Amino acid sequence: MIAKNNLFLKEDIIYMKRALKLAKKGLYTTSPNPCVGCVIVKDNVILGEGYHKKAGLPHAEVNALLNCKENGNEDKIKGSTVYVTLEPCSHYGRTPPCALALVKHEVSRVVIAVLDPNPKVFGGGVKILEDANIEVCVGVLSDEAYALNKEFFKSIKTNRPYVIAKSAMSLDGKIANKDGLSKWITNEKSRNYAQKTRAFVDCILTSSKTVIDDNPRLNIRANTLNAKLQSVVRGEYFTAPLKIILDTNHSVCLDDKEIIKDGILYRIASTQSQYFKEQSKDSEFYASLTSFTLEQKECFLKKIKDNVYDVFLYTDKKEHLDLDLVLSYLNTLNVRRLLLECGSTLLSSFINENLVDEHLVFMSSKFLGKDGINAFFANNVKDVNKCNEYSIKSVKIFDNDIVIDYMR
């Protein structure tokens, strides 16, 4: 973390905490943008405050300036201190640069928690402020600010979404019994908690096999959320997550599936699939495709109907889709937070390719027996001192179930 100026004042922590609290209000609505909060202070009095609500709408700094005006404090902004959880932007995007707005209002000091990792901004906001002789201080509560937007940071730095795996398993590590029956392994409270994660992510990914076996809808059951989150999910700023099916061979008939009932669905198949090879010989089908290049590979998109798309990703392996290419494609759809809701085969591929950033394990106290289906298979390790290891982010207990959130 670059600290422009490490001379923090005691009150800097207090007001930055307030700005972080405001930023959290946008946790379920701002993605693909980060959550940002801003507080404007003079003589130990808050003149105004605000947060970013949704991509395309004003940034936190602009909302805080507006709030100063609403509070009758417009003439006091000159000479004030601005606390903002992310570096003010310096580029013209859907909104003009916030750093320029602060310069225009002649604030005298800007305290920033973390620099914006976006290459269009990184350090540019600070430069605009410093060039205007505004004192800038970077690094106040930076760990908290980074943690709040960890998915955004990972996604901007790697051009791949932050991947959250979800497994619901028995105490003996099985996701289904030997007949493949997997419903009701965990209890209702656990299942309701899982809905919160669906509301948090931009996209939910499943497999052809799970769609065939379980016929999931992958929507958000708003009535299972707490009252506060229900109002967010039913509110004007919320966008339901995209749904993705990995169906290498384009083999699933979607017409009778729950998954197409609401939201936006992308089925991802391979250019090596028999379906694609056969169909693309037909000139009408070929003309209906939009071609695009991803990591120097030619891929195709076809709109099937409103909100349903077929994507054909290049793969040279015949068996399965290239998961890194899938993630690269999801990045082009602005997916920052991805939730995996699939069975053990696909989850194991994600785990063994080291693509999982966070793993939410829902574990019941039941046993499904040795012939049940394992939750996942990690690759064997030769040296136990060099295992992949996660840290525990949180543990929750719902009656007889336990939910462990593991993070890289």
Ligand X SMILES: NC(=O)c1ccc[n+]([C@@H]2O[C@H](COP(=O)([O-])OP(=O)(O)OC[C@H]3O[C@@H](n4cnc5c(N)ncnc54)[C@H](OP(=O)(O)O)[C@@H]3O)[C@@H](O)[C@H]2O)c1
The residues annotated with a catalytic role in the active site are 61
| Residue facing ligand X at closest CB distance | 343
Q: How far is the CB of 248 from ligand X (least distance, A)?
A: 3
Among 342, 356, 361, 368, binds ligand X (CB under 6 A): 342
User: Which amino acid would we find at residue 343?
Assistant: G
Among 84, 233, 321, 368, binds ligand X (CB under 6 A): 321
Only one of the segments 5-13, 44-52, 226-234, 317-325 lies at the binding site for ligand X (rule: CB under 6 A); that segment is 317-325
Instruction: Compare residues 136 and 185 and give the one whose CB is closer to ligand X.
Output: 185
Which residues, in sequence order, are CB contacts of 321 under 8 Å at separation 6+? 246, 248, 268, 269, 270, 313, 315
DSSP 8-class letter at 273: S
Among 82, 94, 87, smallest CA distance to 153 is for 87
d(CA 344, CA 350): 10
Among 341, 357, 358, 401, binds ligand X (CB under 6 A): 341
Contacts with ligand X, 77-116, as mask; x by CB under 6 A: ----------------------------------------
Q: How far is the CB of 316 from ligand X (least distance, A)?
A: 13
Q: How far is the CB of 221 from ligand X (least distance, A)?
A: 16
Which residues, in sequence order, are CB contacts of 284 under 8 Å at separation 6+? none
Cis peptide before 32 (omega within 30 of 0): yes
d(CA 408, CA 406): 7
Q: Applying CB under 6 A, what is the total number of residues that bind ligand X?
A: 28
Three-state DSSP class for residue 196:
helix
Among 167, 197, 272, 279, binds ligand X (CB under 6 A): 167
d(CA 390, CA 133): 44
Only one of the segments 143-151, 246-254, 257-265, 391-399 lies at the binding site for ligand X (rule: CB under 6 A); that segment is 246-254
- Whether 362 and 166 have beta carbons less than 8 Å apart is answered as yes
Is residue 67 a contact point for ligand X (CB under 6 A)?
no
User: How many CA atoms lie less than 13 Å away from 405 in the CB half-sphere?
Assistant: 11
Instruction: Compare residues 31 and 248 and give the one whose CB is closer to ligand X.
Output: 248
Among 344, 351, 358, 364, binds ligand X (CB under 6 A): 344
Q: How far is the CB of 40 from ligand X (least distance, A)?
A: 46
Q: For the segment 169-188, give every residue that binds ligand X (CB under 6 A).
A: 175-176, 180, 182, 185
Contacts with ligand X, 346-385, as mask; x by CB under 6 A: xx-x------------------------------------
Is residue 194 a contact point for ligand X (CB under 6 A)?
no
Instruction: Compare residues 19 and 342 and give the one whose CB is closer to ligand X.
Output: 342
Distances (CA, A) of 349 to 142, 190, 252, 383: 34, 25, 20, 21
- Whether 392 and 404 have beta carbons less than 8 Å apart is answered as yes
- Whether 109 and 137 have beta carbons less than 8 Å apart is answered as yes
d(CA 11, CA 252): 59
Among 203, 258, 200, 254, smallest CA distance to 229 is for 200
Is residue 323 a contact point for ligand X (CB under 6 A)?
yes
Among 343, 355, 359, 364, binds ligand X (CB under 6 A): 343
Q: For the segment 207-226, give every residue that binds ligand X (CB under 6 A).
A: 207-210, 213-214
* Residues within the interface to ligand X (CB under 6 A): 167-168, 175-176, 180, 182, 185, 207-210, 213-214, 246-249, 320-321, 323, 341-347, 349
